[in-house]
């Protein structure tokens, strides 16, 4: 079933990303000679000159009169600096972000059926909470304006911005005065006196709200057409529904907005969030809600009183990480439901690295995960410790108030959650026998659908083992194709595994999902070893939602990497027999 939804994604995505790439291509090529009109466009720290309305493709605002060579050289240098500093500070292309301005149209990525759908007029009002730390000014403002531009005004009770003690200058007086001048009615800015992290930051934001529903967004999002109504409707029906949109992809390099496939949230025993295909049983109709075992974390709507009843977030969690699984487990185990509604779409800039650390340099993901494991996972926390033995005796602070919440709400056990909400999750012994899905898999080998070499169309080279194909944990690289060499032969089977030379499976690390894939023993349970090889020629990794790409087609090293899917040739692969 995964393949059907993904196919829908791929066509749509290819179409829109191609269209947008052409627009951006034109935009940049023209802009090489057309600097004058950009004199008004902000480079870092000059937002006062931002032209307010740059709706639609930015090509429309180009012009190229009266520039001397030295002016244009200077502008080019300035542009480069904005881009380089932007990547350094924000890990995305701030030059393009600034040029897009605070308003732009995005492609309507919803299924056609969503457009005809009628939502109740009387819906609860929303308080939108956006925390930010050192966010790029233009991305933050585009987030806010996309909400104001594409949401019926009467549904927005307020927008609360929480500045998590940012250091960047333009987020100080410039932001104050922009809000005062342009956004005063609906937008309120709260400043943290010290860095709190996004988890306590959201709680601070929530404490300033008075609307009926809380809607959380990251500070580099753009909401799509009619995004809010489908989130509020299930909450109106049942206040214990917590509802997420589909998170569309805004490319960190091009800012192109493309649709995401309809997938749902899961996790692995390293306690990392991952995407899973939607089981057939959950796919009632393309506009119906899908029950999701977990949420990605940043984008969701929840009844405000229910948020408090359910214990907000764990105050002992710092900076970043883990709160998404914690609230997901808590919702399901304590009587709520977590839903993804495909008719609500919100774009998010996916970056390849996080551009900030924690103040003391701690690994807050490990600290936060330990807390959630000890509060919610019962004996199943052993699964985490098998992967992270060094954390077994690590201090995780006082969790008594969280344990008390679990007791007060009379929540189910973690076993109940796995059995009923996430039966796909595999558990290694001693818990293994409790999971029928795992047992039923038996020993039967999945049927091979296709065999051959995997040729990358840009490098014109084939994917092979860097060392021996039998070496567990070994990397894969691209090398010259050799049709005679059986060590270059991949088998693609009905479980969507890619097996090299009949030995090992192409696998993503469950602990460090930013690592390139490697060869591991086939485990037969999808996820980290599940790849789709579609007509669009992507090698799409289902659990991380990214595509395999050659890192540098000219390098003899032949390294490959995982990247946000786009239409570049570096991501095009062909399985040739």
Q: Any contact of residue 170 with Mn ion (CB under 5 A)?
A: no
Q: How many residues of this chain bind ligand LR7 (CB under 6 A)? A: 23
- Collapsed DSSP state (helix, strand, coil) of residue 248: strand
Q: Nearest residue by C-beta to Mn ion?
A: 218
Residue 351 beta carbon to Mn ion: minimum distance, rounded to whole angstroms: 7
Q: Which stretch binds ligand LR7 (CB under 6 A): 24-32, 132-140, 454-462, 558-566?
A: 132-140
Please report whether residue 320 would count as binding ligand LR7 according to CB under 6 A: yes
The one-character DSSP state at 61 is G
Contact call for residue 247 and ligand LR7 (CB under 6 A): yes
Q: Quick one: what does residue 388 bind among Mn ion, ligand LR7, none, with the CB cut-off 5 to 8 Å set by partner type?
A: none
| Residue 200 binding ligand LR7, by CB under 6 A | no
Count of positions (residues) in the chain? 577
Residue with smaller CB distance to Mn ion, 218 or 566: 218
- Under the binding rule (CB under 5 A), the answer on residue 212 touching Mn ion is no
Q: Are 278 and 266 in contact (CB under 8 A)?
A: no
Instruction: Work out what residue 319 binds among ligand LR7, Mn ion, none; the CB cut-off runs from 5 to 8 Å by kind.
Output: ligand LR7
Of 2, 42, 197, 336, the residue at the interface with ligand LR7 (CB under 6 A) is: 197
The one of ligand LR7, Mn ion, none whose footprint includes residue 178, by CB under 5 to 8 A per kind, is none
Q: Does 287 bind Mn ion (CB under 5 A)?
A: no
| CB nearer ligand LR7, residue 271 or residue 377 | 271
Q: Where do the H-state alpha helices sit in 241-380?
A: 304-309, 323-333, 364-376
Task: Please state, in angstroms and rounded to a whole number, the distance separating the CA atoms of residues 87 and 256.
Answer: 16
Query: Quick check: 289 and 234 in contact, CB under 8 A?
Result: yes
Task: Please report where in the chains the tokens 């192409």 appear, as a residue.
Answer: 506
Piece of the chain touching ligand LR7 by CB under 6 A; list 19-27, 284-292, 318-326, 432-440:
318-326
In angstroms, rounded to a whole number, what is the distance separating the alpha carbons of residues 31 and 371?
A: 51
Cα angle at 405 between 401 and 407, to 5 degrees? 115
CB of 198 to ligand LR7, least distance (A): 3
Q: Which of residues 17-76 bind ligand LR7 (CB under 6 A)?
A: none
Over the range 68-98, which residues count as b (16 or more CB within 10 Å of their CB) and which as e? eeeebeebeeebeebbeebbebbbbbbbbbb
Interaction between residue 218 and Mn ion (CB under 5 A): yes
Q: Are 1 and 277 in contact (CB under 8 A)?
A: yes
How deeply is 198 buried, as exposed, middle or buried, from its count of CB atoms within 10 A (0-12, 13-18, 19+)? buried
**Residues 383 and 427: beta-carbon distance below 8 Å:** yes
Among 105, 72, 67, 69, residue whose Cα is nearest residue 347: 105
C-alpha 289/C-alpha 244 separation (Å) is 10
Site map for ligand LR7, 343-362, x if CB under 6 A?
-----x-----x--------
Minimum Å gap between C-beta 347 and Mn ion is: 11
Residue with tokens 């395999």: 548
- Closer CB to ligand LR7, residue 321 or residue 336? 321
Residue 389 has a CB neighbour count (10 Å cut-off) of 9
When the beta carbons of 38 and 92 are compared against Mn ion, the nearer one is 92
b (16+ CB within 10 A) / e for 200-227: bbbbbbbeebebbbbbbbbbbbbbbbbb
297 in contact with ligand LR7 (CB under 6 A)? yes
| Least distance between Mn ion and beta carbon 354 (Å) | 9
Among 252, 296, 339, 464, binds ligand LR7 (CB under 6 A): 296
Single residue of 9, 114, 135, 536 touching ligand LR7 by CB under 6 A? 135
Closest residue by Cα to residue 242 from 316, 326, 184: 326
Residues in touch with ligand LR7 (CB under 6 A): 131-133, 135, 164, 195, 197-198, 201, 218-219, 247, 296-299, 319-321, 323-324, 348, 354
Residues in touch with Mn ion (CB under 5 A): 218
């Amino acid at each position: 079933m995964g393949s059907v939804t993904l196919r829908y994604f791929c066509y749509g995505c290819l179409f829109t990303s191609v269209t947008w790439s052409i627009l951006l291509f034109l935009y940049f090529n023209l802009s090489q000679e057309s600097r004058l009109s950009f004199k008004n466009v902000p480079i870092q720290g000059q937002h006062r000159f931002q032209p307010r309305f740059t709706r639609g493709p930015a090509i429309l605002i180009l012009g190229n009169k009266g520039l001397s060579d030295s002016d244009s050289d200077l502008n080019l240098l300035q542009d480069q600096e904005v881009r380089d500093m932007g990547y350094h500070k924000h890990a995305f292309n701030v030059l393009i972000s600034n040029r897009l301005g605070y308003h732009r149209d995005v492609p309507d990525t919803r299924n056609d059926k969503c457009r005809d759908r009628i939502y109740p007029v009387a819906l609860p009002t929303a308080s939108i909470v956006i925390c930010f730390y050192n966010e790029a000014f233009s991305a933050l403002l585009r987030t806010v304006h996309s909400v104001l531009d594409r949401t019926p005004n009467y549904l927005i009770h307020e927008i609360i911005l929480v500045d998590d003690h940012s250091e960047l200058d333009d987020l100080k007086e410039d932001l104050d005065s922009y809000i005062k001048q342009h956004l005063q009615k609906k937008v309120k800015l709260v400043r943290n006196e010290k860095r709190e992290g996004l988890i306590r930051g959201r709680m601070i934001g929530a404490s300033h709200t008075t609307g009926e529903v809380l809607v959380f967004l990251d500070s580099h999002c753009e909401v799509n057409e009619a995004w809010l109504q489908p989130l509020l409707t299930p909450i109106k029906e049942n206040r214990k529904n917590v509802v997420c949109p589909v998170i569309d992809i805004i490319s960190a390099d091009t800012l192109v907005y493309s649709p995401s496939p309809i997938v749902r949230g899961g996790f692995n025993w390293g306690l990392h969030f991952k995407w899973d295909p939607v089981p057939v049983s959950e796919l009632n109709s393309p506009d119906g809600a899908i029950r999701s075992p977990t949420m990605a974390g940043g984008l969701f709507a929840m009844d405000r009183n229910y948020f408090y009843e359910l214990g907000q977030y764990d105050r002992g969690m710092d900076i970043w990480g883990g709160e998404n699984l914690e609230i997901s487990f808590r919702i399901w185990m304590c009587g709520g439901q977590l839903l993804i509604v495909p008719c609500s779409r919100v774009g998010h800039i996916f970056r390849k690295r996080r551009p900030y650390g924690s103040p003391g340099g701690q690994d807050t993901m490990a600290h936060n995960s330990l807390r959630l494991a000890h509060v919610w996972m019962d004996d199943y926390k052993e699964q985490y410790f098998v992967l992270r033995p060094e954390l077994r005796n690590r201090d995780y602070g006082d969790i008594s108030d969280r344990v008390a919440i679990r007791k007060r709400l009379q929540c189910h056990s973690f076993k109940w959650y796995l059995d009923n909400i996430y039966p796909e999750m595999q558990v290694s012994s001693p818990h293994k026998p409790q999971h029928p899905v795992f047992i039923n898999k038996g020993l039967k080998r999945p049927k091979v659908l296709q065999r051959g070499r995997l040729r990358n169309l840009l490098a014109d080279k084939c994917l092979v083992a860097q060392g021996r194909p039998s070496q567990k944990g070994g990397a894969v690289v691209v090398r010259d194709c050799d049709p005679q060499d059986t060590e270059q032969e991949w088998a693609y089977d009905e479980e969507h595994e890619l097996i090299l030379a009949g030995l090992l499976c192409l696998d993503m690390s469950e602990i460090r999902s930013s690592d390139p894939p490697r060869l591991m023993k086939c485990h037969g349970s999808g996820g980290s070893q599940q790849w789709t090889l579609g007509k669009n020629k992507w090698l799409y990794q289902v659990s991380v939602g990214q595509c395999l790409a050659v890192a540098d087609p000219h390098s003899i090293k032949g390294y490959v990497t995982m990247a946000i899917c786009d239409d570049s040739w570096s991501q095009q692969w062909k399985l040739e027999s």
